[in-house]
């Protein structure tokens, strides 16, 4: 049974929003696009509050971004200066706001696919002429990202449980310790990849050149209309912005 | 005498709302050996992580040597209480078995000669000498369990928590692990064994508690 919107329609919407996020540089425009994305998510029954929770996780990264943008962009009105070096300017604030909003739009765009399981995504990619093996591998890789993150966190905990106080270790040694964390994550990834490959082949992955599909969704007229509207809106926003 | 590990009316729920522990009280001295038993999903590992301060109770108090466990840094907790993960592989990060055991010693200010001597001693104690230069991930499950224990024991902790140490071990490897743990007990180091292997626990622990419905019985 086909769902509305079709996964391909959602992929196009994601593409439209990420294009806008990357193309627009003005924080006001980006804020407007974010508001549009949130409204669209709400219309689809996906709570915009989830974005807030996601953004909260990246607050450390945002702080670094804001600081880096403030220090590297000294255009506009100067708010804070130290020994001739501009620490905070209106240009820096704008650039920092744009960077944070850009990430927010991309994360919001990704949420459009949050109600699709990986099988639906694989089917959609194959319908878009992506080779099945490639589509499957990409999504398998994406599914492993949280696992890798968890492994990094566990390794960091394990190192500290061996009596290494990261707060008291000098920077040089700290870098050495962080390099240790990479080892179990990479080794774990390789071992897991090998196991998954064996398990997949044992279940006849690629045993036959053609495969059948339990579901092969069709695009409805509503999907075509939604896609056309998304492309037209993106083009209109870009045309207005670059005018 | 105040308890080394003390849990007072500890409650724990996951963010999903699932209640795992309901008012757990537990008191252990340094040289106590306790088997923490219970069926799958009963909250044994959660309780172990709460004792280590890796999780925070929803209500109640977890103390280590008379002080709330959260007042210690993770490193301080690790120096005092060794924790062997359910999956030993998850606590390895060195390129060789010898490095894995000696890792923390270097950071604690031991000289290279002292580290070498201590590592050799632990390799012999846990019967891992022939694997000194092997990659930890390439060991068998039983060897990985012994390596995880050796790496933890290198810190000379006052107490050890072992999460499901006998899972996946055959009789011979289980016996080797029992021998190693008996040696630890003889040194006056206490431990909690989280397991549902009755025979393994019976041979190693003086007391046992069962976690059922979020309570200890």
Say whether residue A181 is in contact with chain B using an 8 A CB cutoff.
yes
Chain A: residue nearest B88 by CA? A158
DSSP A43-55: HTT--THHHHHHH
Per-residue pLDDT tens over the stretch A93-111: 888 899 999 999 999 999 9
Judge: B73–A167 Cβ closer than 8 Å, yes or no: yes
Contact of B170 with B139, CB cutoff 8 Å = no
Confidence of residue A84 (pLDDT cuts 50, 70, 90): confident
Cα separation, A67 vs A124, in Å, equals: 40
Contact B107 A163 (CB under 8 A): yes
- What pTM was computed for the model? 0.71
The CA distances from residue B145 to A75, A164, A192, B49, B94, in Å, are: 59, 21, 19, 18, 15
pLDDT of residue B144: 92
**Residue B1 pLDDT exceeds 60:** no
Cα three-residue angle A42-A46-A48, rounded to 5 degrees: 65
- At residue B71, the pLDDT reads 94
Task: Give domain status of residue A214, yes or no.
Answer: no
Range of the domain at A139: 7-204+220-242
Q: Which helix (H) or strand (E) holds B21?
A: strand B19-28
Interface predicted TM-score (ipTM) of this complex, two decimals = 0.82
- Model confidence pLDDT, tens digit, residues A170-224: 877 778 787 777 777 777 778 888 888 898 889 888 888 788 888 899 999 999 9
Q: Which domain holds residue B64?
A: 5-216
Give the rounded percent of residues in chain B with a pLDDT score beyond 90: 70
Q: Assess if residue A215 is contained within a domain.
A: no
CB contact under 8 A, A161 and B83: yes
Q: Higher pLDDT residue, A225 or B95?
A: A225
Number of domains comprising chain B: 1
Look at residue A16 and tell me if it is in a domain.
yes
Q: Give the pLDDT score at A1.
A: 59
Task: Tell me the β-bridge partners of B162.
Answer: B84, B193
Q: pLDDT tens, A4-27?
A: 899 999 999 999 999 999 999 999
The per-residue pLDDT for A6 is 94
Chain B hits for A161, Cβ within 8 Å: 52, 74-75, 77-78, 82-83, 91
Number of domains in chain A: 1
- Pick the residue from chain B with its C-alpha nearest to A150: B90
The per-residue pLDDT for range B132-163, each reduced to its tens digit, is 999 998 899 889 999 999 999 898 899 999 99
Distances (CA, A) of B41 to A139, B38, B88: 30, 8, 19
The alpha-helical segments, DSSP class H, found in A111-207 are 118-127, 132-161, 171-202
Q: Are the beta carbons of B75 and A166 separated by less than 8 Å?
A: yes
Tell me the chain A residues in contact with residue B83 when contact means C-beta distances shorter than 8 Å.
161
Q: Domain containing B69 — which CATH number?
A: 3.40.50.300
Size of the A and B interface in Cβ pairs below 8 Å: 71
């Amino acid at each position: 049974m086909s769902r509305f919107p079709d996964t391909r329609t959602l992929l196009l919407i994601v593409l439209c929003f990420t294009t806008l996020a990357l193309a627009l540089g003005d924080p006001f425009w980006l804020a407007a696009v974010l508001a549009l994305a949130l409204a669209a998510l709400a219309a689809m029954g996906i709570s915009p509050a989830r974005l807030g929770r996601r953004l909260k996780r990246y607050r450390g990264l945002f702080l670094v971004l804001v600081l880096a943008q403030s220090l590297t962009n000294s255009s506009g009105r100067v708010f804070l200066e130290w020994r001739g070096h501009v620490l905070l300017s209106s240009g820096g604030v704008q650039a920092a706001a744009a960077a944070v909003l850009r990430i927010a739009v991309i994360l919001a765009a990704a949420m459009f696919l949050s109600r699709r399981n990986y099988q639906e995504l694989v089917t959609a990619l194959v319908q878009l002429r992506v080779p099945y093996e490639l589509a499957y591998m990409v999504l398998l890789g994406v599914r492993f990202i949280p696992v890798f993150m968890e492994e990094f966190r566990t390794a960091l905990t394990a190192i500290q449980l061996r009596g290494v106080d990261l707060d008291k270790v000098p920077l040089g040694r700290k870098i050495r310790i962080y390099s240790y964390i990479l080892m179990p994550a990479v080794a774990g990834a390789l071992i897991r990849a090998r196991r998954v490959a064996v398990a997949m082949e044992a279940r006849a992955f690629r045993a036959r050149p053609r495969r059948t599909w339990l579901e092969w969704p069709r695009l409805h007229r509503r999907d075509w209309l939604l896609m056309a509207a998304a492309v037209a809106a993106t083009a209109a926003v870009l045309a207005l912005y670059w005018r | 005498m105040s308890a080394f590990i003390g849990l007072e009316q500890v409650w724990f729920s996951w963010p999903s709302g699932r209640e795992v522990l309901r008012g757990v009280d537990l008191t252990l001295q340094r040289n106590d050996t306790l088997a923490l038993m219970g069926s799958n999903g009963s909250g044994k590992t959660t309780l172990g992580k709460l004792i280590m301060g890796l999780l925070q109770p929803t209500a109640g108090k977890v103390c280590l040597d008379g002080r709330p466990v959260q007042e210690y840094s993770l490193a301080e907790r690790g120096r005092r209480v060794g924790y062997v993960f359910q999956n030993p592989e998850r606590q390895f990060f060195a390129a060789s078995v010898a490095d894995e055991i000696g890792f923390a010693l270097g950071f604690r200010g031991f000289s290279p000669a002292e580290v070498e001597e201590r590592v050799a001693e632990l390799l012999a104690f846990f019967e891992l000498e022939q694997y000194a230069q092997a990659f930890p991930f390439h060991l068998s499950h039983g060897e990985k369990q012994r390596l995880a224990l050796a790496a933890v024991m290198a810190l000379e902790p006052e107490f050890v928590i072992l999460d499901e140490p006998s899972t996946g071990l055959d009789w011979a490897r289980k016996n080797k692990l029992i021998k190693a743990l008996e040696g630890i007990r003889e040194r006056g180091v206490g431990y909690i064994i989280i397991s549902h292997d009755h025979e393994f626990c019976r041979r190693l622990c003086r007391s046992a508690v069962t976690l059922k419905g979020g309570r200890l019985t």
